[in-house]
């Protein structure tokens, strides 16, 4: 009897860790009538959204619009209602490990008293790819080293994470998310604690990361700076009061009328000669 139980347990464990397929032709994320929030107060109400794979998507909107809530709902970190598909898979049918194969996450703020070094923390991003009780292999080490190099973290990666500055912790957390090598990279204000140079470096790595995988990759990030959003995102999705009011290419979303409706202010929208992208200036 104990042997049979063990077999069933092993089979269930293997099924829970089985790599979910990233099917070509499916939306990276597909939401239909999704409601999500905290307690009895939904922040997102009846949201419909398809996130096209292979692109960088920006989630924009005023404070309290539901941007962070949207990311957390897609990740399964908060309860939600409605239909939420991740590369064609119902979110509720995916185990935690399978979700980690499909999605990685950089939270808005990483507060930690961990004694782990930065590099050890990045290693944790490889958890979903290890066999049970398995050790890091060559592919894991290569992924960790690549992530440290992409984010410029190697210089301080040997220090305890608790001793790092806010900006250093944010870069280490980004390195962990990159090392995870998921199909979808979810970033909540990835440059909020960074100086201008590091902010630019982080945003510049998104398109090379999306294009560099052996399967479709997609980046979804929350941004407040609309000029950065126009420059580094292929698609923008504008939320106001938990509802999607505009979605499309930056030039389609960033119009004076739409921004007045969303933010209640006048704006001047011009084209930056050096980049060919839009600049949004509040008036």
Q: Using only C-alpha atoms, what is the Rg of the chain?
A: 20
- For the entire predicted model, the pTM comes to 0.89
* Per-residue pLDDT at 217: 93
Dump pLDDT digits (tens) for 119-168: 888 988 888 777 655 677 788 889 999 999 999 988 888 888 888 888 88
* Per-residue pLDDT at 227: 96
Q: What is the DSSP string of 117-144?
A: BHHHHHHGGGGGGSPTTPPP-HHHHHHH
pLDDT at 113 over 70: no
Q: 37: which DSSP letter? A: E
pLDDT band, residue 262 (cuts 50/70/90): very high
* Per-residue pLDDT at 1: 43
Greater confidence (2 vs 225) lies with 225
Q: Alpha-carbon distance 8 to 275, whole Å?
A: 57
Compute CA distances 209 → 115, 163, 204, 272, 274, whole Å. Answer: 29, 28, 9, 25, 23
pLDDT at 17 over 70: no
Please report, rounded to a whole number, the percentage of residues in the chain having pLDDT higher than 70: 89
CB 218 within 8 A of CB 51: yes
Closest CA to 87 of 54, 58, 56: 54
Determine which of 94-108, 158-172, 226-240, 247-261 has the lowest per-residue pLDDT on average. Answer: 158-172
Helices 138-151, 166-179: crossing angle, 10 deg rounding: 140
Q: What residues are paired with 278 via a beta bridge? A: 271
Q: Alpha-carbon distance 227 to 272, whole Å?
A: 10
Q: Which CATH class is domain 14-248?
A: alpha beta
Greater confidence (274 vs 22) lies with 274
Query: Across residues 13-35, what is the average pLDDT?
Result: 77
**In sequence order, which residues have a C-beta less than 8 Å from that of residue 147 and are 6 or more positions away?**
122, 125, 153, 175, 176, 178, 179
Compute CA distances 25 → 69, 83, 157, 239, 242, whole Å. Answer: 26, 18, 38, 26, 28
| Longest CA pairwise span in the chain (Å) | 74
CB 170 within 8 A of CB 178: no
pLDDT band, residue 254 (cuts 50/70/90): very high
The alpha carbon of residue 28 and the mean position of all alpha carbons in its chain are separated, in whole angstroms, by 12
pLDDT at 6 over 50: no
Q: What is the DSSP string of 185-220?
A: EEEESTTTTS-HHHHHHHHHTHHHHHHTSSS--EEE
**In sequence order, which residues have a C-beta less than 8 Å from that of residue 59 and are 6 or more positions away?**
67, 70, 71, 220, 221, 222, 223, 236, 237, 239
**Token digits of residue 115:** 């004694």
Strand order in the sheet with 89-90: 41-51, 29-38, 80-86, 89-90
pLDDT band, residue 24 (cuts 50/70/90): confident
Greater confidence (41 vs 92) lies with 92
pLDDT band, residue 272 (cuts 50/70/90): very high
Mean pLDDT of the chain: 87
Domain residue extents for the chain: 14-248
Dump pLDDT digits (tens) for 179-226: 999 999 999 998 877 888 888 888 999 999 999 877 789 999 999 999
């Amino acid at each position: 009897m104990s042997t049979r139980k063990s077999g069933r347990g092993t089979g269930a464990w293997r099924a829970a860790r089985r790599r979910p397929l990233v099917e070509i032709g499916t939306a990276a994320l597909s939401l239909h009538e999704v409601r999500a929030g905290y307690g009895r107060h939904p922040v997102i109400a009846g949201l419909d959204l398809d996130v096209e794979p292979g692109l960088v998507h920006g989630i924009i909107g005023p404070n309290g619009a539901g941007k962070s809530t949207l990311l957390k709902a897609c990740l399964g970190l908060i309860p939600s209602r409605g239909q939420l598909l991740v590369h064609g898979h119902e979110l509720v049918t995916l185990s935690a490990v399978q979700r980690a194969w499909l999605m990685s996450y950089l939270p808005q703020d990483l507060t930690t008293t961990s004694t782990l070094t930065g590099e050890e923390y990045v290693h944790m991003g490889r958890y979903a790819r290890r066999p049970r009780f398995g050790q890091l292999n060559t592919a894991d080490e290569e992924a960790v080293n690549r992530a440290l190099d992409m984010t410029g973290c190697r210089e301080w990666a040997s220090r305890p994470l608790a001793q790092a500055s806010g900006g250093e912790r944010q870069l280490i957390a980004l390195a962990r998310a990159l090392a995870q090598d998921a199909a979808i990279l979810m970033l909540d204000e990835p440059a909020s604690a960074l100086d201008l140079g590091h902010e630019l470096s982080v945003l510049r790595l998104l398109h090379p990361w999306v294009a560099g995988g052996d399967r479709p990759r997609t980046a979804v990030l929350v941004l407040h700076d609309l000029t950065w959003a126009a420059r580094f995102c292929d698609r923008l999705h504008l939320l106001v009061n938990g509802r999607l009011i505009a979605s499309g290419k930056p030039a389609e979303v960033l119009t004076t009328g739409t921004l007045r409706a969303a933010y209640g202010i006048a704006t001047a929208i011009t084209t930056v000669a050096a980049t060919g992208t839009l600049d949004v200036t509040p008036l």
